[in-house]
Structures are given as structure tokens and as C-alpha cells.
Copies of this chain bind each other. A is one copy, B any other.
Amino acid sequence: MKRTNVERELSVEKKEAILEGAMKEFLAQGYAAASMDRIATAAGVSKATVYSHFRDKENLFSALVEQLVQKKFHSIFGCVDSQAFEGEPKIVLRQLATNMLNMARGDEQFLNFMRLVIGESGRFPSLAQAFIRNVEKSAFSKLCHYLASRPELILSDVEATARIFIGTLVHYIIVQYMLHGGDILPMESDRLIDNLIKLICNGSKIENHGESSSTQHYP
């Protein structure tokens, strides 16, 4: 019985090593160009061991992306503790936006993960949806709750406002960092953030034609 436990633990260690090797290979090469040989080598196991833990390449890829989506990139605001969502909007929103852009800038692993999810979203729609469910939705939901909790923000539509906020920042990350647009369309991140916050915090004196936003629950 003792030997079985040891073997189980070894097996689990190998499985984790395989996922780690797969991460390096898939993030660097993309799905199609990734090689099971190189994954095995990077994990320090034989190719047959890889196939004993994962049915085929597709299966390994799915397992990897689901793991990354649930653990490593659980939220776009991943590096932001929940207590940061308390305080004046101008301060909190600036902090949030700054953290988001600083996290993405230069983090080639994160940028490659986004490239992979978007690039394969046509052939792996369920993985793209897993990404939405975990990363995008949790960030969106957190921001909606915060926006709705601040009475000084009289927003006619909290969800739409959250989309504008996140969309502006994600698009900035895509153009400047992922697509290497920094030299072609330069724009200081602080300048964008300043204007985004001004728009949201000052431009909210509009008629509230929606349902009461007191007991609303966001996705």
C-alpha cells in the first residue's frame, strides 16, 4: 500500500510537470506549432508518459487552458486585493486601471496567453468561453458591484459603464502591448486613464431611466 501512495504522488508530480512543460510550449509556439516531443522533454518525461496522462494533444491543451484560466489568470484584476475596492471612485478607479496596465505591460507570459485564447477562439470556442466565464466575468462583476456601491456616482447604466471602463483598458493593452503599437500610435497610459476617469466620474449627471440599482445583482 505504501508503494502505491508513492507511485501516486510521483504520478501527480509528473502530471504537474507535464502541464508546466505544456504551458511553456503552447504559450511560446501556439497550439498547432507546439510539439508533444518538446513538451515531454521540457517536462523531463518521455512522450509515452505524456500520453498516459492526457488522451491526445487537444486534451492536454484543453486541460492546460482551463487550469490557467482558473488559477493563474483568474481575474484581470488578479493582482488587486478585494479591499482595494473601497474608497473614492477617482482614486480606486485610477489605482485599478494603473494596476491592470502595469500588470500586462512586459508580462510576455500573460500577453502570449491572451494571444493564444483569442487566436484559437475560432477552433476552441469552449476554451474562449471558459476564459470569459472566469477572467472577464469576474473582473466585470467586481467593477459593477463597486460602481453601484458608490452613491456619488449617478450612473444611468452600471453595466454599460463597466464595459466602457474595461473595454478601453483591454483595447489599450491589445494595441500597445500585444500588437506592438507603442511606436505607431503612442499614448501615455496616464493620459488615457485621466480622461476615462473624468468621463465616468463627471459625466454621470444623466437621467436615470433604468430599474433601481440598489438590489441589483450582476453576473
Contact = CB atoms under 8 A, between A and B. Distances in A.
Interface stretch (A13-21, A60-68, A77-85, A124-132): A124-132
A118 interface: yes
A206 B198 contact: yes
A159 B200 CA distance: 17
A37 to B, nearest CB: 15
A112 B119 CA distance: 8
Nearest to A120: B119
Given A32-B33, A204-B203, A192 B163 contact: yes
A38 to B, nearest CB: 14
Nearest to A117: B179
Contact of A112 (B30, B122, B181, B194): B122
Copies in the complex: 2
A42 interface: no
Interface stretch (A2-10, A45-53, A145-153, A164-172): A164-172
B157 A195 contact: yes
A161 interface: yes
A111 interface: yes
A136 B181 contact: yes
22 contacts: A31-B32, A31-B33, A114-B118, A115-B122, A116-B119, A117-B179, A118-B174, A119-B119, A121-B179, A131-B179, A132-B185, A136-B181, A160-B192, A160-B194, A163-B168, A167-B172, A168-B171, A170-B171, A198-B206, A199-B203, A202-B203, A202-B205
